[in-house]
Structure 1
Amino acid sequence: MVIVLQLLVFALTALSTILVVGIPVILASPGQWEQSKSLVFTGAAVWAGLVFATGFFNSLVA
């Protein structure tokens, strides 16, 4: 169970880093928002799901 929690925390950290770098680049590039809007919203939804899943598994481990 601890390994699952560690993998979730790693995935959350990696996705957070990607989003922190990627979203400003998308917003700063002319015309990219219209093309990448669904990708940004999907990334935000996956990030929120990882937050809740990490919290759930943390309550089982602790």
Structure 2
Amino acid sequence: MTIIVQLLVFLLIILSTLLTVGIPVTLASPGQWEQSKNLIYTSAGIWAGLVIITGIFNSFII
């Protein structure tokens, strides 16, 4: 079970890093927001889901 939580945290860190770099670059680029809006919203939803799933799995670890 701890390996699953470690994998979820690793994925959360990777996605957080990508979003931290990707969102400002997208907002700073002219015309990119309209093209990348759905991708950013989807990535943010996946990030929120990972936070919730990681918390649920972490509650099972003693």
Query: Same fold by TM-score, threshold 0.5 exceeded?
Result: yes
CA RMSD of aligned residues (A): 0.5
Equivalence for 1:12:
12
Count of residue pairs the alignment pairs up: 62
Equivalence for 1:24:
24
Q: Which runs of 5+ in 2 are unaligned?
A: none
Question: Which amino acid in the other structure matches residue 24 of structure 1?
Answer: P
Equivalence for 1:47:
47
CA offsets per residue over residues 2-58 of structure 1, 9 Å max, x none?
A: 000000000000000000000000000000000000000000000000000000011
Q: Distance in 1 between matches of 2:60 and 2:33?
A: 39
TM-score, normalising length: structure 1:
0.98
Structure 1 vs Structure 2: percent identity of aligned residues? 66
Q: Which runs of 5+ in 1 are unaligned?
A: none
TM-score, normalising length: structure 2:
0.98
Q: CA deviation at 1:60?
A: 0.5
